[in-house]
Amino acid sequence: MKISSLTKAFAGGVALSAILAGAAFADGALVYDGGGKFDKSFNEAAYNGAEMFKAEGGAYQDLEISGDAMREQAVRQFAARGNNPIVLPGFSWETALRAVAPEFPDTKFTIIDTVVDLPNVQSVVFKEHEGSYLVGVLAAMQSESGKIGVVPAFNFDLLEAFACGYAQGAKSVNPDIEVVETYVGTGFEAFNDPVKATEVARSQLDQGVDVIFQVAGGAGAGVLQAAADAGKYGIGVDSNQNHLHPGSVLTSMLKRVDVATYNAMKGVADGTWEPGVIVLGLAEDGVGAAFDENNASLITDEMMAAFEEAKADIISGEVVVHDFRTDKTCDAL
């Protein structure tokens, strides 16, 4: 039996164990984080990577969870069915993975956005601060008010790394620029609250902010909408979100979650998968910014030249972007 997509497994009171009942699977599995498969951001990037693998003849099952209580059960059930690898995009999978992975030593797990040091776990992390620095350069060059914003989902070290890198990039262009930081909420649920994200973005716009970087996953759609409605500029995150509001989304900070997901599934299929930590930054094309027909009219030759210069300087080591996660400080904010 093959199941191409296992979505909202608790909907209608159907237990996950019942959904997964049947013959053991040899295919990979992808279990999305909060926000769901088609969040136009982080989870959708993971889906796109799995679809790349599928297009080459691979197969996988996927699942959207309906709440945090489902995490450990979902991972354990997939492992028990024989799915391999099991890809878990998002730092919020760490607790469930630490509980389940030791029970299935022959199953390969790939977690994205945090490090779990276990012999059958591959951890893929990114240098988000480097990509965020680059979009900060563009934000400062675009801003007319001298005030830009960043909207993380909540106060969390990974999200602060985005915000801090962004502020550093902006201040490399204009040391006097003001960077306003406002959170959507206080916990993981904030990733699923575009209404609150819209309100937060509007509050920044009311303060004179004219470019806003959303770091809130699915909720960030509300940030981009608010900026577009006000005739200002938003910056997308994780996936290319330029198309959501053509001419209003200045750029999107790309984080190649698709590549990490594809590599995990392909690696198991061809025998090259290895446990340990994989770090993807600018030099590895793991982060970057999106340029296409939707923002072509916004990016001047001067902006592109500054972007390319900053990128080259970071890759060469001439510019070292401070990572908030190293010491929990950010002088630029």
| Mean pLDDT of the region 96-106 | 97
Pair 273, 264: CB distance under 8 Å = yes
- Mean pLDDT, the chain, as a whole number? 92
Owner of token pair 């198309």: 243
Pair 283, 118: CB distance under 8 Å = no
Would you say residue 245 has pLDDT above 50? yes
Give the Cα separation of 290 and 186 in Å (integer).
Answer: 29
CA angle 255, 256, 262 (to 5 degrees): 155
Q: Which helix (H) or strand (E) holds 195?
A: helix 194-206
The confidence score (pLDDT) of residue 222 equals 97
Per-residue pLDDT tens over the stretch 127-183: 999 999 999 999 999 999 999 999 999 999 999 999 999 999 999 999 999 999 999
Q: For residue 5, count other CB atoms closer than 10 A to its CB.
A: 12
Largest CA distance in the chain: 62
| Mean pLDDT of the region 33-58 | 91
Give the Cα separation of 33 and 216 in Å (integer).
Answer: 13
Per-residue pLDDT tens over the stretch 207-228: 999 999 999 988 999 999 999 9
Per-residue pLDDT tens over the stretch 284-296: 999 999 999 999 9
The confidence score (pLDDT) of residue 192 equals 87
Pair 216, 196: CB distance under 8 Å = no
Give the Cα separation of 212 and 181 in Å (integer).
Answer: 9
25 band by pLDDT with thresholds 50, 70 and 90:
low
Per-residue pLDDT tens over the stretch 307-320: 999 999 999 999 99
Own/partner pairs, 279-283, CB within 8 angstroms, 24+ separation: 279/125, 279/126, 279/127, 280/124, 280/125, 280/126, 280/127, 280/256, 281/126, 281/127, 281/130, 282/127, 282/130, 282/131, 282/134, 282/311, 282/314, 282/315, 283/315
The confidence score (pLDDT) of residue 18 equals 44
Residues constituting the chain: 333
Model confidence pTM above 0.75: yes
Would you say residue 56 has pLDDT above 70? yes
Would you say residue 229 has pLDDT above 80? yes
